[in-house]
């Protein structure tokens, strides 16, 4: 983080502090970061643009349904910088009790976590054969 301004470090640190413990997920939006850092939303927008250009974060597009915003833009940590997150670095480095990351987001999670995210097997959803669920 040597090439970051003090405000970029502040926003990035607060983003990391507020990310899920699950690798690759986020529910932090730019307005959340403005509130947490006590910086004006326009300043946070500019800082996020700079952090994107430097490869630290990416910001999703908001999702709309029938003209109404359903999901705001969310801020994510770029995979190359997962090592900055104290829990995610375990998955990257393959240390501790966690399984090492093989480069696929979500590696190292058990069937329950995958099932809850919609990526489980039939058994994870309670189907053990036949048509009985």
pLDDT over threshold 90, residue 49: yes
Whether residue 75 contacts residue 51, with contact meaning beta carbons closer than 8 Å, is answered with: no
Under the banding of pLDDT at 50, 70 and 90, the label for residue 46 is very high
- What are the boundaries of each domain within the chain? 6-84
Give the ranges where 1-133 is alpha helix by DSSP (H): 6-17, 30-37, 41-53, 88-93, 111-116
pLDDT score of 2: 76
More confident residue, 75 or 20: 75
Q: pLDDT (tens digit, 9 = 90+) per residue, 78-103?
A: 999 888 888 876 554 444 444 444 44
67 compared with 124, residue with greater pLDDT: 67
Distance CA 46, CA 52 (A): 10
What span, in angstroms and rounded, lies between the C-alpha atoms of 122 and 119? 10
Nearest to 77 by CA among 19, 2, 37: 19
* Tens-digit pLDDT profile for residues 6-43: 999 999 999 999 987 688 888 999 999 999 999 999 99
pLDDT value of residue 130: 62
Judged by average pLDDT, the poorest of 7-11, 52-56, 71-75, 89-93 is 89-93
Taking the model in full, what pTM does it have? Answer: 0.64
Give mean pLDDT, residues 38-55: 95
- CA of 58: how far to CAs of 32, 68, 86, 94, 96, in Å? 15, 23, 19, 24, 28
Q: Which two three-digit tokens encode residue 75?
A: 């801020």
Q: What percent of the chain has pLDDT over 90?
A: 41
What does 27-51 look like in DSSP terms, one character per residue?
A: ---HHHHHHHHT--HHHHHHHHHHH
15 contacts: CB under 8 Å, gap ≥ 6:
26, 28, 33, 57, 75, 77
Query: Domain spanning 6-84 has what CATH number?
Result: 1.10.10.10
């Amino acid at each position: 983080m040597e090439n970051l301004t003090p405000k970029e470090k502040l926003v990035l640190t607060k983003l990391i502090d507020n990310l899920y413990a699950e690798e690759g997920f986020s529910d932090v939006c730019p307005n959340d970061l403005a509130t947490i850092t006590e910086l004006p939303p326009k300043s946070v927008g500019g800082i996020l643009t700079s952090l994107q250009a430097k490869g630290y974060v990416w910001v999703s597009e908001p999702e709309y349904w029938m003209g109404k915003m359903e999901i705001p833009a969310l801020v994510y940590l770029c995979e190359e910088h997962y090592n900055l997150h104290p829990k995610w670095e375990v998955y990257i480095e393959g240390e501790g009790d966690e399984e090492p990351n093989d480069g696929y987001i979500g590696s190292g999670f058990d069937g329950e976590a995958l099932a809850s995210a919609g990526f489980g097997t039939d058994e994870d959803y309670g189907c053990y054969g036949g048509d009985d669920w």
